Amino acid sequence: MIDWRIKAREFANCNCAYGCPCQFNALPTHGTCEAAIGFQIDEGHFGDVKLDGVRAAGIYKWPGPVHEGDGEMLAIVDESANDAQRDALVRIMKGEETEPMTTMWSVYTAMTSKILEPLFLPIEFTVDVENRTARLVVPGVIDGTGEPILNPVTGNPHRARIDLPNGFEYELAEMGSGTTTTKGAIALHFEKSYGQFANIHLNNKGVVRNAA
């Protein structure tokens, strides 16, 4: 197995209500599970291939809860990545060179029956995890925005976090609001639904437990 590790900043937007029932082993808000995710690697490698600065995104859709399978997925890697980096990111996002079911990518792939050919396109991505803001744009494919949840009475930003000591994606994530439209092979639309902002630290054995 090739040794790999990444530290990245992530923004994820799904079709569920704030908090996302999946985080609590409950069923999706609307029965289906749909999501668009973007991340930028600040430090990383796949074997001897450096991944610092590489951006990637994914679009996912399941007809029911993720664990029931039959999903569709599409991986997108920024066109600025070289061939070795593209190959590395696609393999990581397909759960390859990873102990089974130890990362979200491994789980998603295991629960997917239709894996589309990856795209290599320009990715505009900015995220501020602490302040719960993000922008994810892949021209013609993804247009997503993340922002804080606002108190309906005062209009002030509301802050909530989810702590998952044994999760397969992150240890701690900030909760916010996301609005995303995707086009093409997997067309989705969410408006002011679950937004997740997190610093992720993963390797081929799963989440690197910084808190421990």
Tens of pLDDT along 82-128? 999 999 999 999 999 999 999 999 999 999 999 999 999 999 999 99
**pLDDT for 147-164, tens place per residue?**
999 999 999 999 999 999
**pLDDT for 134-146, tens place per residue?**
999 999 999 999 9
pLDDT at 212 (0 to 100): 42
Residue 19 lies in a domain: yes
pLDDT at 210 (0 to 100): 77
Among the listed residues 1, 4, 2, the one whose alpha carbon sits nearest the alpha carbon of residue 203: 4
| One-letter amino acid for residue 212 of the chain | A
Q: Enumerate residues 6+ apart whose C-beta is below 8 A from 25.
A: none
pLDDT surpassing 80 at residue 211: no
pLDDT at 197 (0 to 100): 98
Residue 182 lies in a domain: yes
User: What 3-state DSSP class applies to 67?
Assistant: helix
Number of domain units in the chain: 1
Among the listed residues 201, 196, 133, the one whose alpha carbon sits nearest the alpha carbon of residue 162: 196
Among the listed residues 119, 133, 132, the one whose alpha carbon sits nearest the alpha carbon of residue 182: 119
pLDDT at 185 (0 to 100): 96
Residue 212 lies in a domain: no
pLDDT at 95 (0 to 100): 96
pLDDT at 81 (0 to 100): 98
Mean pLDDT, the chain, rounded, equals 96
Residue 211 lies in a domain: no
pTM: 0.95
The whole-number average pLDDT for the span 72-85 is: 98
Q: In which domain, by residue range, is 144 found?
A: 4-205
Dihedral of alpha carbons 110, 114, 117, 120, sign: negative
The whole-number average pLDDT for the span 1-17 is: 97
